Chain A
Amino acid sequence: GENVEQHPSTLSVQEGDSAVIKCTYSDSASNYFPWYKQELGKRPQLIIDIRSNVGEKKDQRIAVTLNKTAKHFSLHITETQPEDSAVYFCAASSNDMRFGAGTRLTVKP
């Protein structure tokens, strides 16, 4: 089955800086890669996703890149704000979705 590794487990940045979270996956059949943001006590919310026929996707301050050959994908957040502080989960999906272990992002004002 699919195995997803996510790094780093914690990330602290200054407001306005960029944050990058990286994930690798094992199943070459995986073709859908969502990113979820989960604030304390709340549900995971989809923030951006990418499918395997695309190398990069951007939505305002958030971008995701995918390297299918290397089987890794990354989340990039630019101009970080304190409200970006949360746990971020990557996931990879072939038949079923598997989550990475999560990254706790703290943005210091």
Chain B
Amino acid sequence: DTEVTQTPKHLVMGMTNKKSLKCEQHMGHRAMYWYKQKAKKPPELMFVYSYEKLSINESVPSRFSPECPNSSLLNLHLHALQPEDSALYLCASSQGARRDTQYFGPGTRLTVL
């Protein structure tokens, strides 16, 4: 398996909802990432997990909560989001070091009403 997969593809949620985004890879990669991408902008790094430990949190609001249950899975828990959080959320993985080639999942298109 040479792909990063993400579910769901689309998500619409209200500001009081709790939802989770899921990411999975079976390439044996030990670093996994969450990015946020707004329209016509580059991906913006949110979180990095390296060997299942959170190593970077780029000053992301606490309404976003990452979780790495094992080396193949990465979750992003969402709670009390704002309309400005609407974006494409991309997961990526790389072999080991954060400077390695990153492979992206297809993303989850999130709309917050």
Chain A residues proximal to chain B, CB less than 8 Å: 31-32, 34, 36, 42-46, 49, 87, 89, 93-102
Contacts and interface: CB of A to CB of B under 8 A. Distances in A.
B3 to A, nearest CB: 10
B1 to A, nearest CB: 16
Contacts of A49: 101
B41 to A, nearest CB: 7
For the complex, would chain B's binding face be called helix, strand, loop or mixed by DSSP majority? loop
A22 B16 CA distance: 44
A34 B40 CA distance: 19
B42 A100 contact: yes
Contacts of B104: 36, 43-45
A97 B42 contact: no
A95 B100 CA distance: 9
B42 A34 contact: no
A97 B41 contact: no
